[in-house]
A = this chain, B = another copy of it.
Amino acid sequence: MAECPDSSYPPPLTLTQEQFLLSTIKDWTIQNGLAVRPSPTWIPEAVDQKAVLATNAPVTIFPSPFPKPCFDEARAMQDVYNELYAAIASNEEWLGNIMEELIDVDDFISSLWKVHQAVKQEGYVQPLSLGLFRSDYMIHAPPGSAGPSLKQVEFNTISSSFGGLSSLVASMHTELLSSPPGCPMTYPSHPFLDGKRPPQNPAVETLSAGLAAAHAAYGPSKPKPPLPLCILFVVQEKERNIFDQLALSRRLISVHKIPVFRVVTSEVLERTSIPSGNPSRPLIYLPSHSPSTLWEVTTVYLRSFYAPTDYKSQRDWDARTHLERSAAINCPTILSQLSGCKKIQQVLAEPAGPDHLSRFLSNRDSAIIARLRDTFAPQHDLSPVGRGRELALNPETAAYHVLKPQREGGGNNIYRSSIPTFLRSMSDTEWKRWVLMELIQSPAAARNTVLRSDGQVLSGHVIGELGIFGTILWNRDGTILHNKEGGWLMRTKGRESDEGGVAAGFSSLDSIILY
């Protein structure tokens, strides 16, 4: 492994150099669709009444250093992780036991579980599930450690985003590094950058191929006469991150020749139906713009329905139930979504107790399982018996921890000294909603400069988070039809900020240079 770049990285920029880089990036992002719709807090709807304006996605000026052994290990583990989570989602009994503990304290998990129970009661008609997963890691390098290691931050089983834009950031940094051709000088010369390129980032290819595999596995149309087949993206209204999603549909359409439609959450019940007379329950889509053509949905790709705010009324829960009970392959199913909750990660990481990993990965040898286990950060529940309560309530140990809710989507973490007070503000019966995780200590020297979507430029110390994309298509009988790793996401945020989420403007899309 090469030397970690020291505090001389990134190279300092003169004002002119920074202006040139920023201006190049502002133009490159728009020319290549590395874009988002502007936030309404910046550009009110009254200004952009027809919703045509766009701006650059938040991006870093420089790619970030990342240790090659950690990158390689994260990639090597992805198909194992895919398999692990497919196995968890297929083991309703095991998953159910954990969910039972949560349903009386977490309304959201409880509601999701009820959707699954209702469909199970009626009987599932689709044995296949599709996962477009992203496993997120940080580099753990506490003072005095032998070298950097990889620690998983979370495993995303629903709406794993930024595959589309992330591969564009890698292309942009690659172009800046090699520009102008033959005599690169867009960045100032620096030993860590000269001659280097980010690794290939086939996120769009991988994620699209996963959706295409599900589409193919669905088989022929179920109604008679047969209908044309399509993939349906279920999306949020006024999605600002739409160009990330369109990167996948563009490839599905142009390369795989698969029709793709988009429907917003609130219109699922209006635009799709399941014919009552057909026991195989095909999901029929009726485009509003071409009411004479019916389509049959092979695969439902959720870029909504992942957070409590996506369910505004019972009608939205009905819509989710409707999709779940249909013959369409759900990406993800309710069980797959639930398998991504923080509690599952904590149970898997639990050093004491049953060896869940070996059980779920019975086909894998123990060395692989040990390597997977090495990527877990220490985490604990807050039950009366474990170590979690003690670590969380003592301010000295709390200082090295983060308290995470079970829910997907981020934005609600409690950090360090805030943990004891926060916990004491509620009844300890509610503590089950939370998982305590040891904070990952990422390298302290890293710096970068960020161009936000409103054009503001920020420089400072940063923390990076690497996501690896993977897709898996499996049958609930345990058969795996497709299992691939491919593509990555680097997100970089200011060190002073403890919470992520690129679309919210707090963190930025980045790429990596391996060392």
Residues of A at the B interface (CB closer than 8 Å) are 14, 16-17, 19-21, 26-27, 30-33, 35, 38, 43, 47-56, 175, 179-183, 185-186, 188, 228, 230, 242-243, 246-247, 250, 253, 257-261, 287-290, 293, 453-457
Contact = CB atoms under 8 A, between A and B. Distances in A.
B180 A51 contact: no
Contacts of A183: 228, 259, 293
Given A47-B43, A185-B293, A180 B453 contact: no
A227 to B, nearest CB: 10
B181 A52 contact: no
Contact of A17 (B38, B230, B289, B454): B289
Given A21-B289, A52-B453, 20 more contacts: A16-B289, A26-B51, A27-B246, A30-B33, A30-B243, A35-B54, A43-B53, A50-B457, A52-B56, A53-B54, A54-B55, A180-B253, A180-B260, A181-B258, A182-B228, A182-B259, A183-B259, A183-B293, A185-B289, A185-B293
Contacts of A16: 288-289
B31 A53 contact: no
5 contacts: A20-B287, A20-B288, A30-B30, A31-B243, A182-B259
Q: How many copies of this chain does one complex carry?
A: 2
A52 B243 contact: no
A30 B56 CA distance: 10
A186 B290 CA distance: 8
Nearest to A183: B228
Contact of A52 (B17, B21, B455): B455
Contact of A253 (B32, B181, B258, B453): B181
Contacts of A258: 181
A52 B250 CA distance: 25
A186 B19 CA distance: 42
Contact of A31 (B188, B230, B250): B250
If over half of A's interface residues share one DSSP class (helix, strand or loop), that class is named, otherwise mixed; here it is loop
Contacts of A26: 50-52
Contact of A242 (B27, B53, B260): B27
Contacts of A253: 175, 179-181
B230 A50 contact: no
Between A185, A228, A260, the greatest number of chain B beta carbons within 10 A of the residue's beta carbon is seen for A185
A454 B253 CA distance: 28
A55 B35 CA distance: 11
Contact of A259 (B51, B181, B293): B181
A259 B242 CA distance: 33
Contacts of A180: 230, 253, 259-261
A407 to B, nearest CB: 30
Contact of A48 (B182, B228, B455): B455
Contacts of A186: 289
A258 B33 CA distance: 24
A50 B257 contact: no
Contacts of A230: 180
B54 A30 contact: yes
A35 to B, nearest CB: 5
Contacts of A47: 43, 47
A454 to B, nearest CB: 7
Contacts of A54: 30, 35, 53-55
Given A27-B246, A32-B33, A181-B257, A290 B17 contact: yes
A284 to B, nearest CB: 15
Nearest to A231: B180
Contacts of A32: 33
B243 A454 contact: no
A183 to B, nearest CB: 5
Given A246-B31, A289-B20, A50 B182 contact: no
